[in-house]
Amino acid sequence: MVSLKESDLRLFIDSVRRYFEVTSRVAPEITSAFLGVGEVQGHEFNGIVKFSGPMNGQVTVSLPMRAVRELLLIQHETKLTEANLLDAVGEIANTLAGNARRNLGKDLDISVPTTVRGAHVAGQRARQHPYVITFRWNTYPGMVCVDLAQAA
């Protein structure tokens, strides 16, 4: 499978920045971007969107509980249940996937987001080494794992 271009990865970085700037008026600091080796270690709350069509794979957004809680409070949400926290991180993943679809092509199919609680970002890999973008927003760490490859 063909690798993503640098411009394709840049769109995910830009989407992360834009999401947090618009939602909280606080821009995240991108702390690193690298190829993941082995199991990618995430945070407590994970939103996952799968891609199919011209590209296959998934994008995972991973945040600690305190970051998701703060995002909900900024949005004036007072029900801080686990279900709402999971919905929130799923919505972030959905937003990033929608932005990617606009840039990568309308023929790209994206799934409804799924959510998982736990630090291990698992699943069948599209790439041997997925792209990992780490960031810090309002003192909290975060991660986006881009595991996409061009379909054969």
What lies within 8 Å, CB to CB, of 21 at 6+ separation is: 27
Q: What is the pLDDT of residues 52-102, one digit of tens each?
A: 988 888 999 999 999 999 999 999 999 999 999 999 999 999 999 988 887
Alpha carbon distances (Å) from 136 to 20, 31, 36, 53: 11, 7, 18, 32
H-helix segments, the chain: 6-24, 65-74, 82-104
Domains of the chain: total: 1
Please tell me the predicted confidence (pLDDT) of residue 68.
97
Q: What is the CATH number of the domain that holds 127?
A: 3.40.1550.10
Q: What is the pLDDT of residues 5-29, one digit of tens each?
A: 777 788 889 999 999 999 999 999 9
Q: Are strands 40-41 and 120-121 parallel, antiparallel or unpaired?
A: antiparallel
The residue segments making up the domain with residue 64 are 6-150
DSSP conformational letter for 27: P
Q: Specify if 96 maps to a domain.
A: yes
Q: Specify if 1 maps to a domain.
A: no
